[in-house]
Each structure stands twice: as structure tokens, then as C-alpha cells.
Chain A
Amino acid sequence: MKLAAIETSTQTGSVALFEDGELVLEAEERASNAHGESIVAMLAALLGKAKWKAREVDRWAVGVGPGSFTGTRIGVSTVKGIAIASGADVAGVTAFDAVSDGIEIAPGEIAAVFLDAQRGEVFVQSTCIKEPIFAPISRIPAILASWHVERLVAIGAGAKLVDLSSFPGARIVADAPHDIPHARALAQIARTRTPTPVDLLEPLYVRPPDITAKKI
């Protein structure tokens, strides 16, 4: 099975191609313009190098965030377009799942994933909460304390932004590949995922839209 993955929810965009569970090719690039100009060019170049046609890919994995709203929409919209034209399966993978992929959690440990939400805030997901949240970095110690966590595993580059001094035994896993979501992790997760109906594929925003009252 041919599987391709696209990740655009942070400034580092990446693409990975897998065949029958093996990595064929991958590429990664930092882009300040939310990947609008670069990601499809990068994908097309990688497909060409692998001598694949986009319509031959059986499944497309895409990062759904949370992250940059515009960046995430770029990846999701690209994959929607491909799926409309080729009929391929799609699988949306959250940045929380991508960042924590492959990390073993020992009995008694509680994992929390922290992603940089910009503006002095982080996105947080943990088994201690039903839905992911976003909160100011300064409030995170109090939030963690309210969970009564004894052995914390803090995952993701956002963990480096948070003051974890009140959790002296915390295990921090914040370096690559567990810093930000990468296409390779998306592909590995998407291999065994039930496909997402293409019309239900949407970014996981977590943060509501900014709404400024219109001036008269």
C-alpha cells in the first residue's frame, strides 16, 4: 500500500512517502509563509523522485493540528483536493498523536503533550482531560497541580515553554522527533487508522476564532 503524509501545522512543513510500511522518501522545510507556496511543490518533487503519481497513492495522512490555523488549513485543503480527484482514503492525525508517537508511558506515569500555541499560550492534551485545551503558559503549573499528577511525562516542544519546577520528577520528551509533528509520524499512525470521510476532515482548532467588532 502506498501512503503519503503532509504536515503543515507548524513553520516546519514536511512530506513523507511510505510503501508497505517502509519509508520511501521524506522532505522537510521551514517556511514563514504557512507553506502555501512550498508544500505542493515539495510534494510534487518527492513524488517525481519516487516515480509515483499522486493518484496512485492509496491513503493520504494529514496533520490536523492544533497549530497555525492557516498552516493547518493548507495541508488539509491540499489533501481534500487530492482525495476528490483520486478517490484515495484520507486520515487526519492530530499534532498531539504525532508528537507522542512511539513514546512508552510506564505504569503510574501520566503523559501531557504541550504544543506552542503562540501568543504566550500552549495547546495541551492529556488523559486527565476529555478535550484538548489552550491556556496561558503561566497557568499551566496550576492546571497540572489540579490534576494531582505525581509522575508527569511532558511531551512536545511546548513543554520547554512551561515551568515544570513544581514537578521535579517530570520526564521531559521535547526533542526531535517528539518536538513538533512530522510527516513521518503521521504516516506511521495513519497506516492502521480507520480512514476519515473526506468531508469530515477538518483542522482541530482548539482555539476559537478571533472576532473583532466591525467599525462603522
Chain B
Amino acid sequence: MIVLGIETSCDETGAALVRDDGHVLADVVESQIASHAPFGGVVPEVASRDHVRNVGPVVRAALAEAGMKIDDVDAIAVTARPGLVGALLVGVQIAKGIALAAEKPLIGVDHLVGHLLAVFLRHPLTEARAVPEFPFVALLASGGHTAIYRVDGPDPSQCTELGATRDDAAGEAFDKVAKLLGLGYPGGPEIDRRALLGDPSRVKLRTPMPSSLEMSFSGLKSQVARWVEEQGALTEGAVNDACAAFQATATSTLADKLVRAARQENVTAVVLGGGVAANRELRQRVHDLAGKCGISAFVPPVACCTDNAAMIAYAGAMRLRRGETDGWNLNATSRTSLPRKTRKGRGAR
């Protein structure tokens, strides 16, 4: 079974062809970073306009990369939730148009489920990797979502949230801290690069919510903001130190909670997903900490962690295997289908 996946939930336009065993036949992603960089973050209307322009060439490029025609595909999967509704609708409607004209099943996919299952993708150009068995505990950390899930199977009903951020997503905190430090957008890669040059011990940051699986990144960002205010003019060295301290605190928080969640659930495998999983220090910390605790860490290649359509195609193939398809009334929504446990906002619980 071969599924065409389409992804337009945020600022990446993606199309991919994936077999239901996880083999990626084509994976094309067109980034919109250059369009949003002048604004310091994703502008929803700009994202929607870029998707309309890019999605046709991206879909055709994926078909060409796989050497296939649309008739060779068994189904069309598309991200229908969660995300920017205007951006999602571009993908959903193009998927409906393709499915209608090609007479193929249409499958709406939850973007977060795509991230949780991305660990099963097998890219032809990367080394063969082991994949986890269910159940596993996964950290999904991106610019829009940060949560830890117990995953008992590929169905959204088999994914249970164990803890999530009460405020900013981890990736959002990286972007905001980068802005505070006068760095460009997106903040994650630049902070990661500068963290290597800095000394984390020179900037004292408290670990937020150390005793819970829930998380808070807004307070961590505020600690950096206060530090910036105290410094006055920032030297290159001071910026690097702040990057190193922020990244160390954020990534150790995420890694600690992920491994603690696995132990709490008595599960022996942890998985990373989402754009923040591209962070070098987070990948290393998860690997090291899990290893110390006798837990296997499955860290997918960076291309599988950031937004891509291959994970959508694979999650769609899993839905199709279960006999699930959607009708022409498939709509886009900003909310995930995964039940949320962590309540947003401050205050006692």
C-alpha cells in the first residue's frame, strides 16, 4: 500500500509517498522560513498564501521523486488537525481535489499522531535503524506543542498524555529567547550553535516544575528576560553563555521528564519527535540518560522530527489499515484529537 501524504499545518509545505511498512519513497518539504523571518515568527496569512503557491509543485515533485503517477497511489492522507486553520485548509482541499479526480480514499491525519509515529519511517538514504515496539513513551516537542505521551498503538485512542506544558511550547520558548538575545528566527538552530561556544554555569537559571511531568517554559524565558535586563549591553560571549544555560536547562528538563515518565509507566523505550527533537543537546541528553536507566532511546533522523509529510502519509496508512477513511466534509481544526490532561495557565492543581 502506497499513500500520498500532504502537510500544510504551519510553515512547511510537504508532500511524501510512503509504503505502509514505513519505507519513504519520496519526501519533499518546502520551508517558508524566509517568508516569516522578517516578522520574527509564523504569520498565519502569509503561511496560507505560501502554501497555495507551493503545494502544487511540492506534490508533483514528490511523485516525480518516487517515479510514480497519481494512479499508482492507494490513498491520499492529509494533516487536518491541529495547526493554523487557514494553512491546514489549503492542504485539506488540495487533498480532496486529488482524491476526487483520482478516485482514491481520503484520510485526515492528526499532525501530533504523525509526529508520534515518525519513528517508524525508514528513509532509503539513512542507515537501517531499530524501531520501537508498543508501548513506548514519547516526547513531542515543537513550536506549537510540548507533551509526553504513553503510546500503546497507532490509533489516537491508544495515545495517553502523561504531562504537557502549561504555557509556551518548548520551540516557542527557543524562538522567544532568541529574540530576547537579539538572534534571528527561527531561534532553535542558532541557540543550539551558540550553546556550543558558551558556558552554561555563567547564567543561573532555575529548572521549572522539577517534580512533575507537567512543564512550564514561559517562566524559563522570563528568567532569561530578567538576566538580559540586568546585563545592559550584551557581549557575544554573554549571549553564548545565555544560549548554553537556557538550552541546558530546557533540554535537561525535557530529557529528565521523558525518562521519568518511562520509569513511571514501566516502559523500556522512549521516542523523540517534533522540531525541538532536532536539537543536538536534547538528542544527546535523552540518549545518555535513557542509557543510564536501562531504557532504549529511539531518536529519529532530524528530517523525520521536523514537520514533514512522510509521517502524515504513514499515519494515514495506519488509519487506512484499520479501514478508516474520511468523507468530502473533512474539515480542518486547530485542536488535536489526542485528549489533553494538562490544564493551561497558572495556579495550583
Residues of A within 8 A of B (CB): 33-34, 36-38, 40-41, 43-44, 53-55, 69-70, 73-74, 76-86, 88, 198-199, 202-203, 205, 209-211, 213-214, 216
Which residue of A41, A54, A74, A216 contacts B176 across the interface (Cβ within 8 Å)?
Answer: A216
CB-CB nearest in chain B for A88: B101
Query: Roughly how many angstroms separate A79 CA and B59 CA in the complex, as a whole number?
Result: 14
> How far is the CB of B101 from the nearest CB of chain A, in Å?
4
A36 cross-chain contacts in B, Cβ below 8 A:
89, 92-93, 331-332
Query: B94 at interface (Cβ–Cβ under 8 A)?
Result: yes
1/0 per residue, CB under 8 A from A, across B84-96: the answer is 0110011111111
Contact A79 B52 (CB under 8 A): no
A69 cross-chain contacts in B, Cβ below 8 A:
45, 48, 86
Contact A202 B101 (CB under 8 A): no
Contact A53 B331 (CB under 8 A): no
> How far is the CB of B232 from the nearest CB of chain A, in Å?
18
Contact B93 A78 (CB under 8 A): yes
> How far is the CB of A199 from the nearest CB of chain B, in Å?
5
Contact A78 B86 (CB under 8 A): no
Contact B52 A77 (CB under 8 A): yes
The stretch from B36-44, B111-119, B264-272 touching chain A is B36-44
Contact B46 A211 (CB under 8 A): yes
Query: Roughly how many angstroms separate A81 CA and B59 CA in the complex, as a whole number?
Result: 9
Query: Roughly how many angstroms separate A81 CA and B96 CA in the complex, as a whole number?
Result: 7
> How far is the CB of B329 from the nearest CB of chain A, in Å?
5
B49 cross-chain contacts in A, Cβ below 8 A:
203, 205, 209
A205 cross-chain contacts in B, Cβ below 8 A:
49
> How far is the CB of B102 from the nearest CB of chain A, in Å?
4
User: Beyond A73-B86, A84-B101: 13 further Cβ-contacts under 8 Å?
Assistant: A34-B89, A36-B332, A37-B329, A40-B97, A40-B100, A70-B85, A73-B52, A78-B96, A80-B52, A80-B97, A81-B97, A84-B60, A216-B179
Contact B56 A80 (CB under 8 A): yes
Query: B328 at interface (Cβ–Cβ under 8 A)?
Result: yes
Contact B225 A41 (CB under 8 A): no
Query: Roughly how many angstroms separate A195 CA and B91 CA in the complex, as a whole number?
Result: 23
B70 cross-chain contacts in A, Cβ below 8 A:
84-85
> How far is the CB of A209 from the nearest CB of chain B, in Å?
4
> How far is the CB of A194 from the nearest CB of chain B, in Å?
19
CB-CB nearest in chain A for B91: A77
Contact B97 A84 (CB under 8 A): yes
Contact A209 B332 (CB under 8 A): no
Query: Roughly how many angstroms separate A38 CA and B329 CA in the complex, as a whole number?
Result: 6
8 Å CB interface, B28-73 against A = 39-41, 43, 45-46, 48-49, 52-53, 55-57, 59-60, 70
Contact B100 A43 (CB under 8 A): yes
Query: Roughly how many angstroms separate A38 CA and B328 CA in the complex, as a whole number?
Result: 8
**Lowest 7 A-B CB distances belong to which pairs?**
A81-B97, A209-B45, A85-B101, A77-B93, A81-B94, A214-B41, A41-B328
> How far is the CB of B106 from the nearest CB of chain A, in Å?
9
CB-CB nearest in chain A for B42: A214
8 contacts between A and B (CB under 8 A): A36-B89, A36-B92, A36-B331, A82-B97, A83-B97, A199-B53, A199-B57, A211-B39
B91 cross-chain contacts in A, Cβ below 8 A:
77
Query: Roughly how many angstroms separate A69 CA and B84 CA in the complex, as a whole number?
Result: 14
Query: Roughly how many angstroms separate A76 CA and B94 CA in the complex, as a whole number?
Result: 9
Query: Roughly how many angstroms separate A77 CA and B328 CA in the complex, as a whole number?
Result: 14
Contact B89 A41 (CB under 8 A): no
Query: Roughly how many angstroms separate A216 CA and B40 CA in the complex, as a whole number?
Result: 10
Which residue of B46, B52, B95, B329 contacts A76 across the interface (Cβ within 8 Å)?
Answer: B52
A84 cross-chain contacts in B, Cβ below 8 A:
56, 59-60, 70, 94, 97-98, 101
Query: Roughly how many angstroms separate A44 CA and B106 CA in the complex, as a whole number?
Result: 14
1/0 per residue, CB under 8 A from A, across B168-188: the answer is 000000001001100000000
Query: B103 at interface (Cβ–Cβ under 8 A)?
Result: yes
Contact B90 A73 (CB under 8 A): yes
Query: B327 at interface (Cβ–Cβ under 8 A)?
Result: yes
Query: Roughly how many angstroms separate A71 CA and B317 CA in the complex, as a whole number?
Result: 29
> How far is the CB of A71 from the nearest CB of chain B, in Å?
10
Which residue of B46, B57, B86, B97 contacts A79 across the interface (Cβ within 8 Å)?
Answer: B97
8 Å CB interface, B244-279 against A = none
CB-CB nearest in chain B for A79: B97
Query: Roughly how many angstroms separate A70 CA and B52 CA in the complex, as a whole number?
Result: 11
CB-CB nearest in chain A for B96: A40
Which residue of B52, B93, B225 contacts A40 across the interface (Cβ within 8 Å)?
Answer: B93
Contact A202 B53 (CB under 8 A): yes
- Asked whether A77 and B100 contact (CB < 8 A) given A36-B331, A198-B56, A209-B46, the answer is no
1/0 per residue, CB under 8 A from A, across B206-231: the answer is 00000000000000010001000000
B330 cross-chain contacts in A, Cβ below 8 A:
37
Contact B86 A214 (CB under 8 A): no
B97 cross-chain contacts in A, Cβ below 8 A:
40, 77-85
CB-CB nearest in chain A for B63: A84
Contact A41 B327 (CB under 8 A): yes
CB-CB nearest in chain B for A76: B52
